[in-house]
């Protein structure tokens, strides 16, 4: 096993565990404050949570967001962010920040992508220029951005992936993780390794065991929520977590639907991110107790009730479904902003409820309620 690496101002403490599930609560300490877990991180891909000001995000209760190193590397450029004093000052956010390495975006956005043992060569989705991202370059970029948590560079496979392809990708990811670990030297920043392995349990187990051997301060679970059935996702999570050290934070990448989030918490996951709440808001949909509400539906044209009568967010306290529908049909920016406020409020509320349920021993009851709502949708 490699020697554990000290990170200034970073620690994780488990504060409670559920007797019937793997759920737990904790406190993630970072150089920019403490974060209660389970925690959902709003996505600030390009140094902004879409349609939200930083103080509005903080007012909803969020203490940690996710930004994307790939996007910020290409635009505006790492040198500009660094000259501004780092990502926190550049975007006006004084809470914690995690940066995704950009591996997923290379695969999904890059053109003419060529993956070799050295790294990923691709054409920028912005101007078509040829660029190259290696594990070492990813570490340099994320250190210059100054996030509290950096992620190792990885290759994310689509679902389904043929087994031979998944085996080759696993070896590539293990090599890249080791190179990221060796190249990362920023004492102000925690580096998380990422478990991959596709939908194959033995490969997930092998990947998780190898990541644990490297002794990262925390671990991401990647390559999930990419189209596989939820039951398979939960199976892969359970297999991986059995190999990872329980005292380190576990981060499930790309999951933000309420039931999927809650079921993953029950497996023992601590951190989440997803574009879901902000993206569906821009598509006129709200997360409500009964599932999702699409305000483009004509049934809401004269509906003077709030979005969700059980919700205490600003949008629900102040406006009707009819007014919000009017805004989105007229393509008024305020409508998409209010729906974003509501959706982010709902997920922050859910994580608070999950933390309370762990302490009270009622995680199972909360899960049952969420599943019923999903089935009724």
Mean pLDDT over all residues of the chain?
96
The yes-or-no verdict on residue 375 having pLDDT over 90 is no
**For the whole model, what pTM was predicted?**
0.97
Q: Which residues are catalytic?
A: 100, 273
Residue range 164-176, pLDDT digits in tens: 999 999 999 999 9
pLDDT of 322 reads 98
d(CA 38, CA 355): 7
Asked whether the predicted pLDDT for residue 319 surpasses 90, the reply is yes
Chain centroid to Cα 126, Å, comes to 24
CA angle 209-215-216, nearest 5°?
105
Strands 24-30 and 39-42: unpaired
Question: Phi and psi of 221, rounded to 5°?
Answer: -110, 105
Sorted by where each begins, the domain ranges of the chain are 11-274, 276-369
What is the secondary structure of 184-212 as a DSSP string? ---TTSEEEEEE--TT-HHHHHHHHHHHH
d(CA 102, CA 196): 15
Residue spans of beta strands (DSSP E) within the chain: 11-17, 24-30, 33-37, 39-42, 64-68, 96-100, 111-115, 120-123, 130-133, 149-151, 190-195, 218-221, 250-252, 271-274, 285-288, 291-294
CA-to-CA separations, 336 to 47, 227, 332, in angstroms, rounded: 19, 26, 7
Q: Do the bridges between strand 285-288 and strand 291-294 make them parallel or antiparallel, or are there none, so unpaired?
A: antiparallel
Condensed to tens digits (0 to 9), the pLDDT of residues 268-317 reads 999 999 999 999 999 999 999 888 999 999 999 999 999 999 999 999 99
> What's the confidence (pLDDT) of residue 302?
98
**CATH class label, 11-274:** alpha beta
pLDDT of residue 108: 85
């Amino acid at each position: 096993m490699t020697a554990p690496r000290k990170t200034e101002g970073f620690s994780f403490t488990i504060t409670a565990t559920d007797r019937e599930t793997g759920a737990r609560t904790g406190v993630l300490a970072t150089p920019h404050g403490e974060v209660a877990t389970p925690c959902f991180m709003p996505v600030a891909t390009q140094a902004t949570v879409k349609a939200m000001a930083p103080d509005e995000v903080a007012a909803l209760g969020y203490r940690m967001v996710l930004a994307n190193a790939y996007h910020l590397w290409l635009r505006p450029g790492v040198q500009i962010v660094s000259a501004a004093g780092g990502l926190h000052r550049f975007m006006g956010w004084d809470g914690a920040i995690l940066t995704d390495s950009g591996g997923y975006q290379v695969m999904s956005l890059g053109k003419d992508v060529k993956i070799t043992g050295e790294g990923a060569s691709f054409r920028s989705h912005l101007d078509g220029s040829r660029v190259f991202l290696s594990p070492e370059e990813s570490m340099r970029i994320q250190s210059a951005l100054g996030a509290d948590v950096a992620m190792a560079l990885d290759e994310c496979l689509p679902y389904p992936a043929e087994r031979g392809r998944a085996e080759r990708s696993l070896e590539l990811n293990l090599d890249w993780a080791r190179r990221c670990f060796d190249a990362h030297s920023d004492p102000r920043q925690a580096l998380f390794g990422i478990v991959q392995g596709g939908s194959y349990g033995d490969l997930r187990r092998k990947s998780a065991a190898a990541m644990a051997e490297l002794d990262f301060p925390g671990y991401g679970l990647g390559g999930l929520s990419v189209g596989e059935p939820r039951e398979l996702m939960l199976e892969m999570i359970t297999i991986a977590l059995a190999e990872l050290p329980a005292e380190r934070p576990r981060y499930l990448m790309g999951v933000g639907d309420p039931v999927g989030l809650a079921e993953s918490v029950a497996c023992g996951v601590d951190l989440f991110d997803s574009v879901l709440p902000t993206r569906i808001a821009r598509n006129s949909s709200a997360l409500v107790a009964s599932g999702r509400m699409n305000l483009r539906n004509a049934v809401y044209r004269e509906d003077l009730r709030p979005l969700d009568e059980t919700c205490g967010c600003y949008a629900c306290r102040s406006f009707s479904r009819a007014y919000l529908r009017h805004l989105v049909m007229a393509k008024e920016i305020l409508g998409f902003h209010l729906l974003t406020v509501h959706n982010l409020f709902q997920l922050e509320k859910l994580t608070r409820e999950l933390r309370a349920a762990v302490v009270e021993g009622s995680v199972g009851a909360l899960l049952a309620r969420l599943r019923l709502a999903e089935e009724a949708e």
